[in-house]
Amino acid sequence: MQQGFRRNQAGLCSVPVRSIRHLEGAMEYTEIKYDVSDAILTITLNRPERLNAYTLVMDTELKDALNRADADDDVRAVIVTGAGRAFCAGADLALGDKTFDYKAMGLEDTLEAVRDPGGMTTLRLYDMKKPLIGAINGPAVGFGITMTLPMDIRLASEDARMGFVFTRRGIVLEACSSWFLPRIVGISKAAEWVLTGRVFEAQEALAHGLVSELLSPDHLMPRAREIAAEIARNTSAVSVALCRQLLWKMLGADHPMEAHRLESKCMFWAGGQADAGEGILSFLEKRPPEFTMKPGSQMPDFYPWWSEVPFR
């Protein structure tokens, strides 16, 4: 690793190594905001003067925030949004034509070992226990849009524009988006957006299922919080964690029998737990549920049921 620099999602960013090491220790956030209220965490990408362009600092902070949220049983849902007029303009291009050139910056990685940091972030999002809501408040291009693909619900402002612009920068899809995007919008639309690299309006994203709702700028965050609050107030945190992973992990299943086997195991376990009893009693007694089980300490012994796929 070249002295004085560390790699960002796109390649490299001119961030002193000593600054990153400080972040890894104390983790005082400087490029995101972390705000919890009413059991809802809002993570705000916070470089508005640079349209929230993504750097290694932001990547380090975001991963820490996700780990922190997953370990905190008081956080029931996570909203990710951007400060100012943009969601995220993609990779910071401060290094100009060398932004994506690993070799030019003297990196030690080999072709076989190099890992896309954005992909590592989306894999972390993929494995979260907490539901994720992307509130896309403005332009979201490159990693700014691919980072939202593992989120469970994507809402967009009418002011938002999106673009998978990689072919227009002479690079390729990243952040596991070649897996996520066709599963969300279908292969034909994914291919059109990626191969042309064009930037498109939020209405087109809505029409093809990339986002589920289109809202005025003033209504975007209230709607995101409304959905998050419905989860927080009415559902079992353990049930949500299990259902989230059933949905995501079964996307790659070869046959519905795989889902049947796993759902049967989960139902056998969940049916004998306190939250199942509370869910039934609260319904019969016509009162709000008071679920008590914690995903931080009360998941079934067989969770996670998947093994981490090795990178090789």
Domains and CATH numbers, the chain: 6-232 (3.90.226.10), 236-312 (1.10.12.10)
CA distance 201 to 176: 23
Distance in Å from the first CA to the final CA of the chain: 21
3-state SS, residue 246? helix
C-alpha dihedral (16, 18, 19, 23), degrees to nearest 10: 140
3-state SS, residue 286? coil
Q: What is the pLDDT of residue 107?
A: 56
Phi, psi of 42 (to 5 degrees): -110, 120
Residue matched to tokens 């969300």: 184
Q: What is the pLDDT of residue 26?
A: 52
Q: What is the pLDDT of residue 94?
A: 74
Vertex 164: Cα angle to 158 and 170 (nearest 5): 145
DSSP 130-188: S-EEEEE-S-EETHHHHTTTTSSEEEEETT-EEE--GGGGT----TTHHHHHHHHH-HH
Both tokens of 300, joined, read 């079934």
pTM of the model as a whole: 0.89
Q: Which segments of the chain have a pLDDT < 70? A: 1-26, 95, 98, 102, 104-109
- Count of Cβ atoms closer than 10 Å to residue 272 Cβ: 9
Nearest to 293 by CA among 309, 310, 279: 279
Q: What is the pLDDT of residue 23?
A: 40
Sheet bearing 132-136, strands edge to edge: 32-37, 40-45, 77-82, 132-136, 153-157, 213-215
Q: What is the pLDDT of residue 12?
A: 30
Q: Determine contact, residues 199/141, Cβ cutoff 8 Å.
A: yes
Q: What is the pLDDT of residue 303?
A: 97
CB proximity list for 136: less than 8 A, separation 6 or greater:
81, 82, 87, 145, 148, 154, 155, 156, 157, 160, 162, 202, 211
